[in-house]
Structure 1
Amino acid sequence: MELALEEPVSRTSRSFREEQVSRTSRSFRRDQPVAPSDFIDEGWDVSESPTYSLQVKNLSYKVAVKNNGEGPGQKILLNDICVEAFAGELLAIVGPSGSGKTTFLDALAGRIVRESLEGEILVNGHPINNSFRRISGYVMQDDALFPMLTVRETLLISARLRLPASMPLKEKKLRVDNMIAQLGLENCANTRVGNEKVRGVSGGERRRVSIGSDLIHDPAVIFLDEPTSGLDSTSALNVMQVLSRMAKTGKRTVILTIHQPSFRILETIDRVVVLGRGSVLYEGALQQLKRYFGPLGRTMPEDVNVLEFALDTIEDFQKSPAGLEPLIKLQLESRKLEVEKGEKREERKVQVGPGGASSSYPEYATSFLAQCYILTGRNLKNVLRTPELFVSRVMAMLLVAITLGTLFLNSKVSERGIRQRTGFISFTLALLIFWSMEAMAAFIEERQIFIRETSRGAYRVGAFVVAKDVTMIPLLLLLGTIFSVISYFLVDLVREAPEFFLFTFTCFLVLCTAYSYVSFVSTLVPNFAIGTSICSTTISYMFLFSGFFIERTAIPKYWIWLHYISLFKYPYEVMLQNEFGSKHFENTIWYGDVDSNTVLSNLGAGKVHIWVNLVAMLGIFVGYRLFFWFSLSFFNRSVRK
């Protein structure tokens, strides 16, 4: 049974008073540069903030690999790691490429399945459970943010999702203002985040926004994967100074990976863990690292970056016949000596006050309905801020409707009129379904944001799905109506109100089922190119077995299942029945002695029940939405096995 995280006392810093924020904000003026040392208000009372220490005992992680045809084997990524991280400190994980830095960070942050790990990871002496992600934050290396939202909006949406529902909106906004001040983002607070396509904030500012969105809920434990990656030296230093101040002033436990920090960045780091091929080669203060390799005959020259010296030493040992064994042995002896002396570790152990009680955080800060509301609002903002995309969709639908309408203009009651109507119906379905493939690009671009947010418990997968549907369904209804209003009367289909509205509703359902199918496929593919290829192939097969090219009775039994799962079958039969089965054509002779019933029978739609087919279409839509939810829940996750 998993134990809940222990929260010693109430965290007063979680309640930001308005006067505190006002005082912090007054120290920043838009016409003056913001110094990193000013990012945190020294007046905050953090003396009663709960603190959390992490203790790693004999942690190992192995993955299965193939051994050149010799059968399955194992690769050791983490090997018997013992490390501690304390509140109020910034702990850096360093090492050469392939040393296991990110893997170790992921293991600490709960991004690797617990059953795959050997050893223990304890928080205040207790095993980690699902509540841990509520009191921790994880900042990925890539800045996955919505480019059309402003800095303030990005942080506010994160605050509304990750702060308790009981906290007033006014206080959440104050929390956002305070975070903006901490991160030095006041000058760009109302600027769009942007990306490589949309002009916005700078790379350093974008990184700080990414950090802020994952720290807005004031986590006690912060994990960051190479927060300075891709930044210039000044921006990298600013980020590290912010994190250092957060650790010391906010009594937070900050753990990050970093690659070759500069001299000035080293000043922000309290302790380091040096890894080599998954093993700990050193753990402790940077100053002690200068003399650490002395017993191995390695003396650090003056005016040399201590971590560069350590990494160079590791590389030299890796090339030697003995490999890293001397360094691993030195670390084991150092750890044993420290334990025997009882130094530092016993003194720095987090003391749990007598008033502390074991309590579990709820898995999510807000309710399902609140999450749906917030996510829907964010989706609508993104849609409204890309009017050119909306206009292009409407114009494309207008063009398609006019093209088909004028191509099959004024279909007559004749043998040719039958072919015109069936051709119009089949190509209507093809264009509507293939047109829906554009939904794939939008989701694939957003997927990394979804993974980042859900991996830290920002919202439920179901809320994401519902918000998407609430945003998209009205747009699909509008597009389906535009198409039917124009094309229906140009082709001169049955001019009766029930038939027209049924045709319009069917077009809308076609767009919904296609959108649902394409969205599901997009969760299974790594990129847009592969997704497009899969969708084009499968939709083409569905079209082939729709009943237009070959009647159902003529399809071989071993292929008939493709007919029944086709997105084309049910709307095609509905539209045929709606046109040729209409009372308007009840006694119509199309040519010779062929009446409407004969036409339907020849087209394979004589025994079709319209409402049964409509229910089937709704079932397909709901079914693929459930598949979409299932795939997001189990296949689109950041947790490794």
Structure 2
Amino acid sequence: MGMRLDFHDVSVQIEHKWILQSVSGFAEPGKLLAVMGPSGSGKTVLLTTLAGRQSCQAGTVLLDGNSLDKKLRRKIGFVLQDDVFLPNLSLHETLMYTARLRLPSNRKSDEVATRVRWVETKLDLIKCKNTRIGNISNRGLSGGEKKRASIACELLHQPAVLILDEPTSGLDSDSAYKLIKLLKKIAISSQTAIVLSIHQPSSSVFQLFDRVVLVLNGETVFFGKAKSVVSYFGSLGLHCPPSYNPADFIMEKLKGTSEEVKRLQNGPHRRKENAINTTTTSINPSLFVVMDGRNLRLQSRRESVMSVDILRYFNEDYRSTPSVGDSSESAIFRCTKIRRLFRRLCRKRSDGWGVPTAQPYDESYPTSFLEQYFLLTRRSFRHSSKAVLSTLEIIRHICQAVIVGLLWFQVELSEDRIGDIQAVMFFCVIYWGFESIYQAISTFPSEHDVIDKERASGSYRLSSYYLAKMTSELPLVIVMPTIFFAIVYWLSLWNSNLLGFFLSWGFIVLDALVAQSVGLAISALTSSIDQGIAIGGMYMLTSLLISGFYMQILPPWLSWSRYFAFSYYSFNAFLTLAFDYNDEEFRCADPDVASIPECKLGNVTFITGDKISRQFEPLLLPLWLNGIALVGLFVIIRVLGYLALRYINRPSR
């Protein structure tokens, strides 16, 4: 059974500016309510407020007579103006994962599949269900298909109210008409109250609306049946020419001369003055006094006649209290006494006055933490693997590894080539530092938008998502550094010790994981890719300078900074493994140019690696300490990224 959405005297202030002022109205089950107005009139803010994602400084939003809270907001579907998806998943995969996350966990798999199939059929998505969603760089669904996919995601959990922000934006007139007609059918068949904003519909689209809210400069200038708009404008001296599109006429007058705008803004006041008393009335769950024609009454889905004494109470208060009207055919008024009485009625159970008993709603998520974790792990792996393990990426990294391996091919183990050995190791560390950071910064923002949308709808816990992302991407982050490092290591062969190889591989993987953590944390803290790239580049270039390759001994006042650079620990470990864990000996340079004390004496031709590592003693840390430092940075930075997502860049409500 559908639910009625009522909003009364809604006022919203953003950055010290009033965007909405005393906006009122309602949306009924099985009906289509259109919110119209010029650009900047507050349509989107009104919709986000009705969806419970924007707080209002004054007024109330009620769903079946209950104030919106976290559990009730899950009964409202909200389709954003921009279609936000994970681009590498197919449409069917997207719908299946959404259904499993948002439908109760006691639903069987075949029931979930049936629901997805029903939505795909209802929205004519069967033919494109196996098509990848796509994005600007990778073509996928068309604009109309993406819009229907957005609606499909919200219909999966059978919302009581469906709110859509500019659903026809970017569509041609025929596609727009078909979409609104489809929404009309869905509203009737599922008894869903549908609220949508639309800028300037065609006449055929306008005829599909049941009720209309006209918003101008954050105020309601009309609320009532769509077929009554033209006659109401006519009563204000604004006459629509014959055979003229009513929607075009409405928008022209909303953006008309100052005299026309003044008439519209004063219209509800004039209508209110002509109201007369009536002897019967009824009450609705939203507790609104409504003027229907020339009769002042209260309205509900369950009509119940009130006593004459109570009616007189309303009419006396109505006559004596100045108020701001907000509609045309159904004007909504506010009064101090009425609001006090309404609050008392809200606390009562249904007792013949038509006030419905507030029903208890389940506060928990539709699925458990573990179910969310496993579902999100599979989804994240399928999405990320198509980008990380793409053919282009594999070829690129292999080619780069071969180039590096050939440049340092079978590098000679001699004192003269120590600098070259340092260079190839440092290149591997920095290469995967930059790669991992920029990959996270460039790919996470699009996923961040999806997280915001799904968190705002109450689909899952942030902790389950974050843990799932860490788990799913762990094998993906390991694969490419492993392939790259194996090629470089065995081509250059600076250490033929098998233990040295595996330990070096472990540190290059840790290096990539920590770098990815830095990229995710930066993305979580910043609001754009450009900001993330700027901060990530500055961090990596600073790390490059202080990691010990270019300068081993930093100024005393700056020496502490290298401990915050993960590349310092990675490069430190590589130096230890290259020399202390090397079974082979290094050839000494000529005594005249040798820098190692043993070689300067000219008594030896070869020296062991530990003699060389002494040259880096101001830089070197124990191998185990480097490992602990990298693991510690990984954990700390991941926690910081989680806190940033939770408390800094969190979605509205």
Contact 2:207-2:226 at 8 Å conserved across structures: no
Contact 1:124 1:350 in 2 (8 A): no
Matches within 5 A, 1:411-490: 411-436=411-436, 437-490=438-491
CA RMSD of aligned residues (A): 2.9
The answer as to whether partners of 1:383 and 1:390 remain within 8 angstroms in 2 is no
Shift of 1:324: 6.0
**Partner in structure 1 of residue 127 of structure 2:** 187
Q: Which residue of 2 aligns with 1:102?
A: 44
Aligned to 2:241: 301
Q: Deviations over 1:466-517 (max 9, x none)?
A: 3322332212222222233222233333322222111010011011111111
Q: Would you say 1:273 and 2:213 are equivalent positions?
A: yes
Give the aligned residue type for 2:625: V
Query: CA separation in 2, counterparts of 1:438 and 1:539?
Result: 13
Closer, same or farther: CA 403–605 of 1 in aligned 2, 3 Å: farther
Cα displacement (A) at 1:81: 1.6
In structure 1, distance between residues paired with 2:500 and 2:180: 66
Q: CA deviation at 1:322?
A: 5.0
2:236/2:263 contact within 8 Å kept = no
Give me the whole-angstrom Cα distance separating, in 2, the residues matched to 1:336 and 1:106.
35
Structure 1 CA distance for aligned equivalents of residues 36 and 45 of structure 2? 12
| Aligned match of 2:598 | 593
Check the 8 A contact 1:141/1:226 in 2, yes or no: yes
- Structure-to-structure mapping, 1:326-405, within 5 angstroms: 326-327=266-267, 329-330=269-270, 339=290, 345-348=298-301, 358-383=359-384, 390-405=390-405
Moved more, 246-255 or 538-547: 246-255
Q: Which amino acid aligns with 2:424?
A: F
Cα displacement (A) at 1:424: 1.7
Letter in 1 for 2:422: T
Q: What residue number does 1:88 align with?
A: 30
Q: Deviations over 1:589-608 (max 9, x none)?
A: 78442675554343245661
Amino acid at match of 2:240: M
Q: Which residue of 174, 191, 194 corresponds with 1:254?
A: 194
Normalised to the residue count of structure 2, the TM-score between the two structures is: 0.81
Alpha-carbon distance in structure 2 between the residues aligned to 1:491 and 1:218: 61
- Is residue 2:12 matched to residue 1:61? yes
The alpha carbon displacement at 1:228 in A equals 0.9
Query: Once the 2 structures are TM-superposed, how far is the Cα of residue 615 of structure 1 from its aligned partner?
Result: 1.4
Partner in structure 2 of residue 629 of structure 1? 642
2:237 maps to amino acid: G
Q: Once the 2 structures are TM-superposed, how far is the Cα of residue 611 of structure 1 from its aligned partner?
A: 1.4
C-alpha distance in structure 2 between counterparts of 1:119 and 1:110, whole Å: 13
Corresponding residue of 1:141: 81
Separation of aligned partners in 2, 1:551 and 1:224: 59
Match of 2:329 in 1: none
Task: List aligned pairs for 1:104-253, cutoff 5 A.
Answer: 104-112=46-54, 114=55, 117-253=57-193
Q: For the residues of structure 2 that align with 1:88 and 1:343, how far apart are their CA atoms?
A: 25
Q: Deviations over 1:71-120 (max 9, x none)?
A: xxx321001122222222111111111110001111111121x3x52222
- The SS at the match of 1:542 is helix
Distance 2:406 2:578 in 1: 19
Opposite residue 34 of structure 2, the aligned amino acid is A
Q: Give 2:284's aligned residue.
A: none
Distance verdict in 2 for CA 1:331–1:145, change over 3 Å? farther
Please name the residue that 1:287 is paired with.
227
- Secondary structure at the aligned position of 1:358 is classed as coil
Name the aligned partner's letter for residue 126 of structure 1: N
Structure 1 SS opposite 2:583: helix
Deviation at 1:363, TM superposition (A): 4.0
Classify 1:469/1:318 alpha carbon distance in 2 versus 1 (closer, same or farther; 3 Å): farther
Q: Relative to structure 1, is the Cα distance of residues 174 and 321 closer, same or farther in structure 2, using a 3 angstrom cutoff?
A: closer
Mark the CA change 1:399 to 1:332 in structure 2 (over 3 Å): closer, same or farther: farther
Amino acid across the alignment from 2:434 = F
In the alignment, which residue of structure 2 is the partner of 1:566?
565
Kindly name which structure, 1 or 2, has the bigger radius of gyration based on alpha carbons: 2
Q: CA deviation at 1:226?
A: 0.8
> Which is further off, 338-347 or 606-615?
338-347
Q: Kindly state the Cα deviation for residue 339 of structure 1 after the two structures are TM-superposed.
A: 3.5
Contact in 2 for aligned 1:130/1:363 (Cα 8 Å): no
Which residues of structure 1 form unaligned runs of 5+?
Answer: 1-48, 65-73
- Separation in 1, partners of 2:96, 2:350: 34
Contact 1:91 1:273 in 2 (8 A): yes
Task: Report if the CA contact (8 A) 2:3-2:63 is conserved.
Answer: yes
Do the aligned partners of residues 199 and 576 (structure 1) sit closer, same or farther apart at CA in structure 2, a change above 3 Å counting?
Answer: closer
Contact 1:380–1:471 (CA<8 Å) still a contact in 2?
Answer: yes
Unaligned runs of 5+ in 2: 278-288, 305-348, 590-595, 600-606
Percent identical among aligned pairs is: 30
Q: Tell me the residue number matched to 2:20.
A: 78
- What is the CA-CA distance between 1:219 and the residue it aligns to? 0.5
Match of 1:570, SS?
helix
C-alpha distance in 1, partners of 2:261/2:245?
26
Task: Give 1:499's aligned residue.
Answer: 500
Distance 1:347 1:397, change over 3 A: closer
Matched residue type, 1:223 = I
The separation in 2 between residues aligned to 1:615 and 1:309, in whole angstroms, is 70
Q: Give, in angstroms, the shift of residue 126 of structure 1.
A: 2.1
Give, in whole Å, the separation in 2 of the partners of 1:442 and 1:471: 15
* Counterpart amino acid of residue 390 in structure 1: S
| 1:620 maps to which of 605, 608, 633 | 633
Whether the 8 Å CA contact 2:90–2:132 is kept in 1: the answer is: yes
Give 1:625's aligned amino acid.
R
Of stretches 346-355 and 244-253 in structure 1, the one that deviates more from structure 2 is: 346-355
Contact 1:547–1:604, Cα closer than 8 Å, also in 2: no
Q: Secondary structure at the match of 1:87?
A: coil
Post-superposition shift, 1:320?
A: 6.5
Matched-pair contact (CA < 8 Å) for 2:65–2:358:
no
Q: Distance in 1 between matches of 2:134 and 2:629?
A: 42
Give the drift of 1:577.
Answer: 1.5
Once the two structures are TM-superposed, the CA of residue 456 in structure 1 deviates from its matched residue by: 0.7
Q: Distance in 1 between matches of 2:421 and 2:276?
A: 85
Contact 2:161 2:193 in 1 (8 A): yes
**Partner in structure 2 of residue 7 of structure 1:** none
Q: Distance in 2 between matches of 1:298 and 1:159?
A: 49
Aligned to 2:551: 550
Measure the CA separation in 2 of the matches of 1:349 and 1:299.
Answer: 37
Take 2:66 and 2:135, find their aligned partners in 1: how far apart are those partners?
41
1:11 alignment partner in structure 2 = none
Aligned to 1:26: none
Q: Aligned letter for 1:402?
A: V
Give the stretch that moved more between structures: 397-406 or 534-543: 397-406
Tell me how far apart the structure 2 counterparts of residues 494 and 634 of structure 1 sit (CA, whole Å).
Answer: 47
In structure 1, C-alpha distance between the alignment counterparts of 2:510 and 2:385, rounded to whole Å: 24
What SS class does the counterpart of residue 523 from structure 1 fall into? helix
| Cα shift at 1:233 | 1.6
Kindly tell me: are residues 336 and 475 of structure 1, through their superposed partners in 2, closer, same or farther at Cα, counting changes over 3 Å? Answer: farther
Moved more, 466-475 or 132-141: 466-475
Q: 1:575, CA displacement in angstroms?
A: 1.2
Partner SS for 2:390 = helix
**What secondary structure, in the 3-state scheme, does the structure 1 residue paired with 2:61 have?**
strand
